[in-house]
Amino acid sequence: MLATAEALGILLAAARRVDGVESIDTLDALGRVLAADVVSPLDVPPMHTSSMDGYAVRSAELAQASTARPVALAVSQRVPAGHVAAPLATGTAARVFTGATVPPGADAIVMQEMASVSDDGRVAFEAAPAAGEWITRQGADIKKGSVILPAGTRLTPQALGLAASVGCARLDVVRRTRVAVFFTGDELTMPGEPLKDGAIYNSNRFTLRALLAKLDCDVTDLGIVPDRLDATRDTLRQAAREHDLILTCGGVSVGEEDHVKPAVEAEGRISMWQIAMKPGKPLAFGAVRRGSEREGEGGAEEAFFIGLPGNPVSSFCTFLLFVRPFILRLAGVEAVAPRVYSMRADFTQKKGDRRNEFLRARVNDASGLDVFENQSSAVLTSTVWGDGLIDNPPNHAISAGEIVRFVPFSELMR
């Protein structure tokens, strides 16, 4: 069995960015991955602006201002945000508002709370401002010609706002990763159908489809495939034709009814099988050959294949730890590792497992970690109860108060 780090390394080394780039409206680009750097065509802000409601002044003209001897200036202009400011006349102040252009010649803003207006409209100042006070300089946020979003960035709401702030109406993004998914097991039944003796509802279909949706994949759901080698091979051939990745759930163990592994070996290859982790040991990685109808079209000769175990917690954890970073790398994202936090264990686990364990845990009110009592790979309740996974090394017992590695679900799903 491969160590988890070695297995992940194999997957990421094999991943290559999918071909195809499209230009889309920035408003529609949430979750997409940039195919090219976004370079700013302008300074932001494009001029010196006021960061307060107040008065634009020449600081030297107020150098002698004090409480005992205020300096009063006439107001020569009023500059709301979005309006052009005239040069500041000598011996005057300009009424300005937050975001307004600073009049040429002014070098400081005095907050309106620090000034008083007399009946004749003049404004009095009782202290001298420092040069540059409350002025946001041109280019303080972004310099013209700088890369504000590098290729490979997965676009968040704030990234879209940043692109819009430099006038980008459209963005070049990598096309969506095409994923075919199917499930094996004669015992599987869909919710809404009668549950026969010996059957279970197919929870994995709902979990995995939702996880793929969070990664903005173009998903083809091929449903539940009968536990037969011929049916599995037929579905693999169908899935390979137009997809970048084939994702299966179940059938990758060593039982007589587990047909996915031999089917993939017949239609392509298995490069990796079985990982020293708990839950999720029987994870398979390889590729399936494309049919002749795809030949000569310039596409890859194979579709990647990842086979997940059928137990619901195993498929959930292996998706987060292996499939997610693999799909992100296919989309062109370089930084795929989740942030890991050092946190205190508020429990004791007297015996470690020979495999790398991923324990479902929750952050308690004392900022420590509790673990779900039943860590079975069939207990899906633990994934809803928990806030993330404790990455526990092989053969390691955990003592209360010990610092452990914690990976939040929020990191594994972003």
Q: Do 167 and 189 share a domain, yes or no?
A: no
Domain assignment of residue 244, given as a range: 4-18+176-330
pLDDT of residue 293: 47
Residue 295 has pLDDT above 70, yes or no: no
Q: What is the pLDDT of residues 5-39, one digit of tens each?
A: 999 999 999 999 999 999 999 999 999 999 999 99
CA distance readout (Å), 280 to 263, 300, 322? 20, 29, 11
pLDDT score at 185: 82
Of 264, 299, 330, the one marking the end of a domain is: 330
Which pLDDT band, with edges at 50, 70 and 90, does 253 fall under?
Answer: low
Residues 196, 314 within the same domain:
yes
Q: Is the pLDDT of residue 52 over 60?
A: yes
Residues 191 and 299 in one domain: yes
Please check whether residues 239 and 216 belong to one and the same domain: yes
Tell whether 305 and 215 lie within a shared domain. yes
What DSSP element (H or E) covers 57?
strand 54-57
The least confident of 82-86, 106-110, 248-252 is: 248-252
Q: Is 357 part of a structural domain of the chain?
A: yes
Q: Which of helix, strand or coil describes residue 208?
A: helix
CATH number, domain at 289?
A: 3.40.980.10
Last residue of a domain, one of 136, 164, 193: 136
CB-based burial, 169-184: b 16+ in 10 Å, e otherwise? eebbbbbbbbbbbbbb
| Tokens 């005992």 belong to residue | 68
pLDDT band at 1 (very low <50, low <70, confident <90, very high): confident
**241 shares its domain with 287:** yes
Query: pLDDT band at 292, cuts 50/70/90?
Result: low
How many Å apart are CA 294 and CA 240, to the nearest integer? 9
Q: What is the CATH number of the domain that holds 117?
A: 2.170.190.11
pTM metric for this prediction: 0.88
User: Domain tally for the chain?
Assistant: 4
CATH code where residue 360 lies = 2.40.340.10
| Residue ending a domain, choose from 330, 352, 367 | 330
Whether residue 65 lies inside any domain: the answer is: yes
Q: Does position 299 have pLDDT exceeding 80, yes or no?
A: no
Q: Tell whether 336 is covered by a domain.
A: no
- Mean pLDDT of the residues in the chain: 94
Same domain, 192 and 278: yes
308 band by pLDDT with thresholds 50, 70 and 90: very high
Residues 28 and 104 in one domain: no
